[in-house]
Amino acid sequence: MTHVVLENCIKCKYMDCVEVCPVDCFYEGKNMLVIHPDECIDCGVCVPECPAEAIVPDSDPGAESQWLNLNRRFASSWPNITQKKRPPDDADTWNGVPQKLANHFSDQPGRDIGETGLDRESEEKAK
Ligand code: SF4
Ligand code: F3S
């Protein structure tokens, strides 16, 4: 048993979830996070923290096997994340948008965050 991150995390990526996980089992993609199914202890404390309501137990009817598979697949290649970073500026505008997996999912790993908390690209522009 595990919890899984669902489609509505894509491009919302609020990251409140990582602050409360007792076993640090979130992994960061470019525009969403996933949970490692073998590390999650199914405690459920991350569920109410997510403003996008994007985390459910894998027993939930919304957690089809494709989501469990996606979480498992990318948890093994994306970097671990344990501290909240700055969410995307337009996160709220993506909350609830349909078809995000088909149209907006990125399989790329998470941002390379520097001292300022901005991603490297934004830091370069700010110089
Ligand atoms: Fe972490 Fe608990 Fe959420 Fe699993 S259910 S990801 S262990 S906070
Ligand atoms: Fe995603 Fe919700 Fe965490 S939007 S990054 S699962 S707080």
Domains of the chain: residue spans and CATH: 3-86+107-126 (3.30.70.20)
Which one, of 107, 112, 86, lies nearest residue 32 by Cα?
A: 107
Instruction: Specify the pLDDT at position 124.
Output: 58
User: Which numbered ligand comes closest to the C-alpha of 22?
Assistant: 1
CA of 42 to the centre of ligand 1 (A): 5
User: Which residue's CA is minimally distant from atom 8 of ligand 1?
Assistant: 21
pTM of the model: 0.89
What pLDDT does residue 89 have? Answer: 96
Whether 20 and 82 have beta carbons less than 8 Å apart is answered as no
Say how many Å lie between the first and final Cα of the chain, rounded.
Answer: 47
The pLDDT assigned to 64 comes to 87
Q: What is the pLDDT of residues 49-94, one digit of tens each?
A: 999 999 999 999 988 899 999 999 999 999 999 999 999 999 999 9
The rounded Å distance from CA 122 to ligand 1 centre is: 31
Ligand 2: residues within 6 Å at CB? 5, 9, 12-17, 33, 49-50, 52, 54-55
Q: Which helix (H) or strand (E) holds 121?
A: helix 120-126
The residues facing 74 across adjacent strands are none
Give whole-number Cα distances, 116 to 19, 27, 35, 39, 103, in Å.
19, 21, 26, 30, 30
CB 126 within 8 A of CB 118: yes
